[in-house]
Structure 1
Amino acid sequence: MALLNFRKKQETFGSSAQVEAFLDGYSIEVMPRTAEKVEDFRALLPAGTRVYIAHIDGTPIEDMVATAARLAADGYNVMPHFPARIIKDKTMLADWIARYQGEANVRQALLLAGGVSQPHGDFHSSMQLMETGLFDKAGFTRLHVAGHPEGNRDIDTDGTDRNVMDALRWKQKFNETTGAEMALATQFAFEAKPIIAWANALKDAGITIPIHIGIAGPAKLQTLIKFAIACGVGPSLKVLQKRAMDVTKLLLPYEPTDIINELAAYKAAHPDFNIERVHFFPLGGIKTNAQWAIDHGGATAAPADQS
Structure 2
Amino acid sequence: MRTETEGPSSVNAGQNLIDDFSLEMTGKDVPGLHEAQSLIPQGTRINVTFLGNEDLEMRVAAAKAVKEAGFIPVPHISARRLGSVAQLEEFLAALRDVGASDHVFSVGGDPETPMGPYASSLDVIQSGRLPEFGVKEVSIAGYPEGHPDIADDVLWEHLAAKTAALKEQGLDAVILTQFGFDTEPVISWIRKVRERGIDAPIRVGTPGPAGIKRLLGFARRFGIGANAMIVKKYGFSLTNLMGTAGPDRFINDLGALVAADDAAGDVGVHFYTFGGLSATAEWARKFQASA
TM-score strictly above 0.5: yes
Q: For residue 55 of structure 1, what is the aligned residue in structure 2?
A: 50
Q: For residue 240 of structure 1, what is the aligned residue in structure 2?
A: 230
Q: For residue 256 of structure 1, what is the aligned residue in structure 2?
A: 247
Spell out, residue by residue over 1:47-75, the C-alpha distance to the aligned partner (whole angstroms, 9 max, x if none).
Answer: 00000001111211101111111110111
Q: How far apart, in 2, do the equivalents of 1:272 and 1:265 lie? A: 14
Q: Is the 2:45–2:71 Cα contact (8 Å) retained in structure 1?
A: yes
1:24 equivalent among 19, 38, 51: 19
Q: Is the 2:82–2:88 Cα contact (8 Å) retained in structure 1?
A: yes
Q: For residue 39 of structure 1, what is the aligned residue in structure 2?
A: 34
Q: For residue 110 of structure 1, what is the aligned residue in structure 2?
A: 105
How many residues of Structure 1 are paired with residues of Structure 2 in the alignment?
Answer: 287
CA drift at 1:245: 9.8
CA drift at 1:228: 3.2
Give the counterpart letter for 1:262 in structure 2: D
Give the counterpart letter for 2:34 in structure 1: E
Q: Is the 1:187–1:233 Cα contact (8 Å) retained in structure 2?
A: no
Does residue 148 of the first structure (1) align with residue 137 of the second (2)?
no
Change in CA separation of 1:295 and 1:271 when aligned onto 2, cut-off 3 Å: farther
Residue ranges of structure 1 left out of the alignment (5+ in a row):
1-6, 300-307
Does residue 101 of the first structure (1) align with residue 96 of the second (2)?
yes
Give the counterpart letter for 2:138 in structure 1: L
Spell out, residue by residue over 1:11-31, the C-alpha distance to the aligned partner (whole angstroms, 9 max, x if none).
Answer: 698544322221111000001
Deviates more, 1:246-255 or 1:194-203: 246-255
Q: How far apart, in 2, do the equivalents of 1:170 and 1:235 lie? A: 33
Q: How far apart, in 1, do the equivalents of 2:54 and 2:261 lie? A: 42
Q: How does 1:74-93 map to 2 (within 5 A)?
A: 74-93=69-88
Spell out, residue by residue over 1:169-216, the C-alpha distance to the aligned partner (whole angstroms, 9 max, x if none).
Answer: 212322431322101101000011111111112222333332110000
Give the counterpart letter for 1:63 in structure 2: M
Q: For residue 133 of structure 2, what is the aligned residue in structure 1?
A: 138
TM-score, structure 2 normalization: 0.90
TM-score, structure 1 normalization: 0.85
Q: How does 1:263-302 map to 2 (within 5 A)?
A: 263-283=254-274, 285-298=276-289
Give the counterpart letter for 1:74 in structure 2: A
Q: How far apart, in 2, do the equivalents of 1:67 and 1:8 lie? A: 39
Deviates more, 1:215-224 or 1:267-276: 267-276
Deviates more, 1:178-187 or 1:262-271: 262-271
Q: How does 1:112-127 map to 2 (within 5 A)?
A: 112-127=107-122
1:70 equivalent among 43, 65, 68: 65
Q: How far apart, in 1, do the equivalents of 2:84 and 2:8 lie? A: 47
Q: Is the 1:208–1:274 Cα contact (8 Å) retained in structure 2?
A: yes
Give the counterpart letter for 1:174 in structure 2: A
Change in CA separation of 1:189 and 1:105 when aligned onto 2, cut-off 3 Å: closer
Identity of aligned residues (%): 27
Q: How far apart, in 2, do the equivalents of 1:221 and 1:8 lie? A: 24
Change in CA separation of 1:287 and 1:236 when aligned onto 2, cut-off 3 Å: farther
Q: How does 1:180-195 map to 2 (within 5 A)?
A: 180-195=171-186
- Root-mean-square deviation over aligned CA pairs: 2.5
Specify the SS of the correspondent of 1:176.
helix
Q: Is the 1:200–1:274 Cα contact (8 Å) retained in structure 2?
A: no
Q: How far apart, in 1, do the equivalents of 2:225 and 2:169 lie? A: 34
Spell out, residue by residue over 1:120-145, the C-alpha distance to the aligned partner (whole angstroms, 9 max, x if none).
Answer: 11111000101111112223121001
Does residue 220 of the first structure (1) align with residue 211 of the second (2)?
yes
Specify the SS of the correspondent of 2:210.
coil
Specify the SS of the correspondent of 2:77.
strand
Q: Is the 1:90–1:132 Cα contact (8 Å) retained in structure 2?
A: no
Q: How far apart, in 2, do the equivalents of 1:234 and 1:216 lie? A: 17
